[in-house]
């Protein structure tokens, strides 16, 4: 459904639409959409340090040792998968809910981590991208980010947001954006 809306939006604006974050068919939650490729790169790339938060429900009691393994890191198909933080939100004998903070967005990373621990994921929800939280936003809705949310997303990257169109400076006979 979102893919249909995105392509319609791109045709209308004549531009490209980029996503920060991704969800597979069995997941739900927050992704950011932007027409600014530089913003997307600065926010999405793991070198900039913006963390993504996920809420995961698994079909078993999640023991403290499993949480420690998630933060110590696991190997799966040649990839090293590691949560920056893993905390238990609730648990009983048949299911547990945990929150994970990730710095990278490898393909199906959260599901692969829990599978490596022998745990089946029942529900996976992306609940935050950096300081932008899903909250009570209904499925299929997309409010614009405020200037302060954009600035907060760019903070971990050590960059200040551009307040408007960049100032142009003449460099070698060409006009280029001024680097400050």
Residues ≥6 apart with Cβ < 8 Å to 121 = 26, 56, 57, 58, 59, 110, 111, 114, 115
Residue 132 CB-density burial (10 A; 0-12 exposed, 13-18 middle, 19+ buried): buried
| Residue among 24, 26, 36, 79 flagged as catalytic | 24
Known catalytic residue at 76: no
What whole-number distance in Å separates Cα of residue 133 and Cα of residue 35? 20
Centroid of chain to Cα 80: 18
Contact of 18 with 116, CB cutoff 8 Å: no
Contact of 81 with 116, CB cutoff 8 Å: yes
**Which tokens belong to 20?**
């920060």
E strand or H helix that includes residue 124: strand 121-129
Q: Which residues are catalytic?
A: 24
């Amino acid at each position: 459904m979102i893919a249909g809306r995105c392509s319609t939006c791109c045709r209308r604006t004549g531009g490209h639409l980029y996503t920060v974050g991704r969800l597979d068919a069995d997941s739900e939650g927050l992704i950011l959409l932007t027409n600014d490729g530089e913003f997307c790169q600065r926010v999405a790339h793991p070198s900039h340090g913006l963390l993504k938060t996920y809420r995961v429900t698994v079909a078993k009691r999640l023991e403290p040792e499993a949480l420690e393994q998630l933060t110590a890191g696991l190997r799966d198909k040649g990839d090293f998968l590691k949560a920056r933080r893993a905390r238990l939100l609730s648990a009983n004998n048949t299911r547990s809910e945990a929150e994970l903070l990730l710095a990278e967005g490898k393909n199906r990373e959260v599901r692969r981590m829990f599978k490596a621990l022998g745990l089946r994921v029942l529900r996976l929800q992306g609940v935050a991208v950096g300081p932008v939280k899903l909250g009570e936003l209904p499925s299929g809705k997309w409010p614009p980010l405020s200037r302060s949310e954009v600035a907060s997303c760019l903070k971990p990257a050590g960059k200040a947001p551009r307040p408007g169109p960049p100032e142009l400076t003449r460099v070698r006979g060409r006009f280029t954006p001024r680097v400050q």
